[in-house]
Amino acid sequence: MAVTALVVEQDDGTSPVFPRRRRRRLGVYGLLVPASVLIGIALGYPLIRQFITSFQEFGLKQQFGAPPEWVGLKNYQELLSDPYVWTVIGRSIAFCLVNAAVTMIIGIAFAVLMQRIGRGARVTLQVSLLLAWGTPVLASMTVWQWLFDSQYGVINWVLANVFGMEDMAGHSWIIEPLSFYFVATVIVVWMSVPFVAFSVYAGLLQVPEETMEAAQLDGASQRQRFWNITIPMIRPVLSIVMLLQVIWDLKVFTQIYVLQRAGAPTHETNLLGTLIYSYAGEFSKAGALATIMLVITLALTGFYIRQMLKEDEL
Amino acid sequence: MSAVATPAPAPAPQDTPVPVAVRRRARVKTTESGRAQSRRSRRVLGIVAVVLAILWVFPIYWMINSSFLPLNKLQTTRPTFLPIGGTISNFRQVWNDQTFWDAMKISLIVVVIVLVAALIFAFLAALAVSRFRFRGRKAFILTILVVQMIPAEGLFISQYRMLDGWNLVNTAMGLAIVYTAAILPFTIWMLRGFVAGVPIELEEAGMVDGLSRTAAFFRITFPLLAPGLVAAGVYAFLQAWNEYTLALVVMTDPTKHTLPLWLQGLVESNRATDWGVVMAGSALIAVPVIAFFLIVQNKMTAGLVAGAVKG
């Protein structure tokens, strides 16, 4: 059965120090039990149960204890024949891709910048990014609401008085869906760029200088070196960071929810996360939509995940 | 919650004295003017970087600045850019607010439970995957990776129903259970790197000198793991302290609100009336966390990098 051996010894188990014993075989699994049980109960079970519920009817009768009825794909059919659901799916994917792309571009630009400047400027930029990274989401959301406040917000003031756009005074940013998404994008990008910038910077530091010098001697311009050497060499970092951005930006909830509470029209601004939340009373529908969201996530990221698994030696 | 949970190869510590300066030196045709030019472009880029830094940190500066300003300086046609002639009355108002302390209490209880449970469970699991080879090891690591990709926002309703079934809705315990489960995969990932980083030969040497296996582990390896445990602990702390979505779903009773929920309540009752108090509330929640984060950031990112290597 299970072959238990220490990492450092070979499988022949000849090490005199740690003789293989049956007891330890069970012991290893014992170490995994607490974590596995907790993850299984609090993540695995809800996931499975939600999947099952999405094929059932869960109405008033069931709330009073009647056993749920199997309805097959009815919940999915209902959702997918609703044009509004499609609108929200489209919006979510667009929002996700735009945010992930903008975050990646700015993050990579910051990382490259960090590499090309002196120590003082670099540390200044890094501390500033760390501050943005470390701020609790809700505190950030609160500050951004104040910055974009229509009446006394500093952004409107700067636009009106510094850039002379006088009609911006008193402008409400979150009433219009497009400008709502603009604000949400600004906030999401502001929060996510530090992670991308630091990860990519760490990747850049690992590109061996000899390679760059050799390319230079062969006459490659700075631009060529960047696109043909640096980018391919840091590709593993880029792809995992990109993957995470897509996952996070697709399921974005807090930012949208808080901005909606600030007075934006919910129907026009819902994304998948907030739409699922709005179904809180209808378990089966919520479950079906959550499953659809999972499928979309996998569709968007499946390629990356497969590639990562292929390359990553666990 | 997995919003920050990342198996990423991560952030570099502030200054690694590695290549950086290199690509300048190696100009093929290094002329005097070329060098001067590259020095100038470096300085220009430096200025760009500082401007970007100011831009990025501005919201946080603005939070601190506004938190010290009285109402009549906040609601004016001309913003006050420096908290000169400021006041601490905003802070006093939050400080004297009982609901702030109630929320603080709930948050602290949740954080402590999460911290203890996540550290112990993750440590044991990390020990197993990095010190032993056994059947199912790969599958376990893979599960840990994949679990982090599940959109937590798609799960909260069934998590709520589960907790409801156990009468754990509106309890710190219930929230702590779902938090711990969400945090565990990443803490295991992180600790695995740290455990693998302590060479087993050290332990073996201790055993040759007559220690039992357990004693060798606790007297030799365990102390060396302290930085890793600190890093994982900080990560767990930040997650549990900052999380909003699950708390919103699980803690429906206003008297059971955690700090982020409390802050959202404060915003909603003071919006357009007193942003100073709201900013003071944000600052009180954020500043300790930011300070903490700055101090341990290096260790944490070292942990992420460590987790990314084979172990």
From-to residues of CATH 1.10.3720.10 in chain B: 91-308
A16 touches chain B (CB under 8 A): no
Q: Is the pLDDT of residue B280 over 50?
A: yes
Same domain, A48 and A81: no
Radius of gyration of chain B (CA): 24
How far is C-alpha B273 from the geometric centre of its chain's CA atoms?
Answer: 32
Q: Is the pLDDT of residue B91 over 70?
A: yes
Per-residue pLDDT at A241: 84
Residue A59 within a domain? no
Question: To which residue do tokens 């990382």 refer?
Answer: A111
Best residue in B68, B107, B156 for a mutation probing chain A (most A CBs within 10 Å): B156
Same domain, A147 and A38: no
B3, two tokens = 């919003």
A147, two tokens = 């910055």
Tell which A residues from 37 to 76 touch B, by Cβ distance under 8 Å. Answer: 38-39, 41-43, 45-47, 49-50, 53
Give the C-alpha separation, A174 to A180, whole Å: 4
Per-residue pLDDT at B28: 45
Q: Is the pLDDT of residue B311 over 80?
A: no
Partner-chain contact A43 B155, CB within 8 Å: yes
Same domain, A199 and A298: yes
Per-residue pLDDT at B176: 94
Give the C-alpha separation, B45 to B21, whole Å: 14
Per-residue pLDDT at B8: 39
Same domain, A113 and A22: no
Per-residue pLDDT at B32: 54
Contacts of A142 in chain B (CB under 8 A): 63, 263, 267, 278-279, 281-282
Same domain, A99 and A132: yes
Partner-chain contact B157 A50, CB within 8 Å: yes
CB nearest to B121's CB, from A1, A34, A291: A34
Residue type, B282: S
DSSP secondary structure code for residue A226 in this structure? I
CB nearest to B59's CB, from A121, A147, A157: A147
Cβ-Cβ contacts under 8 Å for A24 (sequence gap 6 or more) = A4, B132
pLDDT digits (tens, 9 = 90+) for B213-246: 888 888 888 888 887 888 788 888 888 998 998 9
Residue type, B45: L
DSSP secondary structure code for residue B132 in this structure? E
Percent of chain B with pLDDT over 90: 25
Give the C-alpha separation, B225 to B220, whole Å: 9
CB nearest to A142's CB, from B132, B278, B310: B278
Give the C-alpha separation, A110 to A125, whole Å: 9
Partner-chain contact A130 B156, CB within 8 Å: no
Structurally, chain A folds into a number of domains equal to 2
Residue type, A237: V
Q: Which CATH superfamily is domain B91-308 in?
A: MetI-like (1.10.3720.10)
Mean pLDDT of B179-198: 86
> pLDDT category, B30, cuts 50, 70, 90?
very low
Per-residue pLDDT at B19: 43
Percent of chain B with pLDDT over 70: 80
* Residue of chain A whose alpha carbon sits nearest to that of B177: A42
pLDDT digits (tens, 9 = 90+) for B101-133: 999 999 999 999 999 999 999 999 998 888 888
Give the C-alpha separation, B275 to B75, whole Å: 9
Give the C-alpha separation, B255 to B262, whole Å: 9
Residue A66 within a domain? no
Domain that holds residue A24: 1-53
Angle CA(A262)–CA(A263)–CA(A268) in degrees, nearest 5?
A: 120
Same domain, A227 and A98: yes
Helix (H, G, I), strand (E, B) or coil at B140: helix
Give the C-alpha separation, A232 to A259, whole Å: 39
B51, two tokens = 């401007």
Partner-chain contact B282 A143, CB within 8 Å: yes
Residue A120 within a domain? yes
The alpha-carbon gap from B29 to the nearest alpha carbon of chain A, in Å, equals 10
Tell which A residues from 124 to 183 touch B, by Cβ distance under 8 Å. Answer: 124-140, 142-147, 149, 151-152, 154, 157
For the entire predicted model, the pTM comes to 0.81
Helix (H, G, I), strand (E, B) or coil at B167: coil
Partner-chain contact A195 B8, CB within 8 Å: yes
Per-residue pLDDT at B297: 67
Residue A125 within a domain? yes
Partner-chain contact B149 A258, CB within 8 Å: no
Contacts of B158 in chain A (CB under 8 A): 46-47, 49-50, 53, 283, 287, 290
CA distances from B234 to A7, B56, B109, B290 (A): 28, 24, 16, 11
How many beta-carbon contacts under 8 Å exist across A and B? 351
Residue A61 within a domain? no
DSSP string for A4-26: -EETTS-TT---SSS---HHHHH
Partner-chain contact A8 B200, CB within 8 Å: yes
Burial A27-65 (b: 16+ CB within 10 A, else e): ebbebbebbbebbeebbbebbebbeebbbbbbeeebeee
Of B21, B194, B56, give the one whose Cα is nearest residue A196.
Answer: B56
pLDDT tens-place values along chain A, 314 residues long:
333 333 333 343 334 444 455 555 667 888 888 999 999 998 889 888 888 888 888 766 666 667 777 888 888 998 999 999 999 999 999 999 999 999 999 999 999 999 888 888 988 998 899 888 888 899 999 999 989 988 788 888 888 888 877 777 778 888 888 899 999 999 999 999 998 898 888 888 878 888 888 888 888 888 888 888 888 888 878 887 888 888 889 888 889 999 998 888 888 899 998 998 888 777 888 889 988 888 888 888 877 777 766 765 55
Per-residue pLDDT at A17: 44
CB nearest to B15's CB, from A39, A119, A154: A119
Long-range Cβ pairs for the range B140-146 (8 Å, 24+): B140/A32, B140/A36, B141/A314, B141/B192, B142/A309, B142/A314, B143/A39, B144/B185, B144/B188, B144/B189, B145/B7, B145/B185, B145/B189, B146/A305
Partner-chain contact A190 B289, CB within 8 Å: no
Crossing angle of helices A119-134/B275-308, nearest 10°?
110
Give the C-alpha separation, A237 to A310, whole Å: 15
Partner-chain contact B294 A8, CB within 8 Å: no
The alpha-carbon gap from B73 to the nearest alpha carbon of chain A, in Å, equals 10
CATH code where residue A200 lies: 1.10.3720.10
Residue A63 within a domain? no
Give the C-alpha separation, A35 to B98, whole Å: 37
B72 touches chain A (CB under 8 A): no
Of A107, A122, A139, give the one whose Cα is nearest residue A248.
Answer: A107
CB nearest to B263's CB, from A42, A138, A279: A138
Q: Is the pLDDT of residue B35 over 80?
A: no
Contacts of B28 in chain A (CB under 8 A): 216-217, 219
Per-residue pLDDT at A200: 87
Mean pLDDT of B50-57: 94
Query: How are beta strands B132-133 and A56-57 bridged, if at all?
Result: unpaired
Give the C-alpha separation, A53 to A47, whole Å: 10
The alpha-carbon gap from B207 to the nearest alpha carbon of chain A, in Å, equals 8
Same domain, A90 and A233: yes
ipTM above 0.85, yes or no: no
Per-residue pLDDT at A191: 92
Partner-chain contact A152 B125, CB within 8 Å: no
B46 vs B201: which has the higher pLDDT: B46
Per-residue pLDDT at A8: 38
Long-range Cβ pairs for the range A300-303 (8 Å, 24+): A300/A93, A300/A96, A300/A246, A300/A250, A301/A243, A301/A246, A301/A247, A301/B149
Residue A10 within a domain? yes
